[in-house]
Amino acid sequence: MPGADADLVTQYRKITSNPDFDMNIAKELALHRGPYWPIVADKLSEWYAPLMMILQSITETLPLMMIGMAMKKNGFITGKWARADYIKWIKKLVPAGLLLSAVLAAGLIAVDHDVINSLAVFLVWNSIPRLMLTIGYVALFVLLIDRLSGGAFISRVEAAGQAAFTNYLGTSIVMTSLFYGYGLGLYGNISRIGLWPFVFGAWIVMLLWSKPWLARFRYGPLEYVWRSLARGKLQKMVR
């Protein structure tokens, strides 16, 4: 940017020139619009990426796990608190978290989603509003689930959760087949708004198939394989 501090410019160029920080959009588009095996080779070449993500996020993930355990122990996420207490936390956390998130989003738009600022927001500045919204949304969903408990929609959500492994990998396979070059090649051709129909479509499919399947079978397909491997013998599948 014009007038930027010389030291910041030097640091920016050093980071963006690092081979592990490749932001070549044209290269990414060409790769993911291409055939299957080059994409697989590229993913395998970045075998260390999950480990790096663990190290980068452990300062947030570990505290969140501990907060979650505490919230389970004190009854917050199991619906044992009074309704007024949940409403109080929703009012405290959700509006403030949304406001802070909106401020950060506006800042990124103002700098045209600059790489350094985007990373700073993602890795650091958004941690506080993200935590506020996480707890606020938990309180909101506890009240919602309590109101809808026993209904058709909640029963379908429960079934989708019981088949989470199959749903997770299944949607990954479907979406990569839609977007990558060996499928429909939609990678980079859909706007952010245009992605929402794909998101809602995946949700609908998961809600539609999971309950009928689990009404007949004890596990989802991949859950069955995983449990059989973990227990060292084939599990009973049909109810």
10-residue mean pLDDT profile of the chain (239 residues): values are 62 60 76 93 86 78 90 94 96 97 94 84 89 95 89 93 97 96 94 95 97 97 96 94
Whole-number pLDDT of residue 194: 95
Whole-number pLDDT of residue 19: 55
Residue with tokens 């802070």: 100
Cα 150 to the center of its chain, rounded Å: 27
* Buried residues in 85-120 as b, exposed as e (16+ CB within 10 A): ebeebbeebbeebeebbeebeeebeeeeeeeebeee
Q: How far is CA 237 from CA 53, 209, 218, 231, 232, in A?
A: 36, 17, 5, 14, 15
Q: Are 163 and 220 in contact (CB under 8 A)?
A: yes
Global pTM exceeds 0.85:
no
Whole-number pLDDT of residue 212: 97
Q: Is 151 exposed, middle or buried (0-12, 13-18, 19+ CB in 10 A)?
A: exposed
Q: Is 132 exposed, middle or buried (0-12, 13-18, 19+ CB in 10 A)?
A: buried
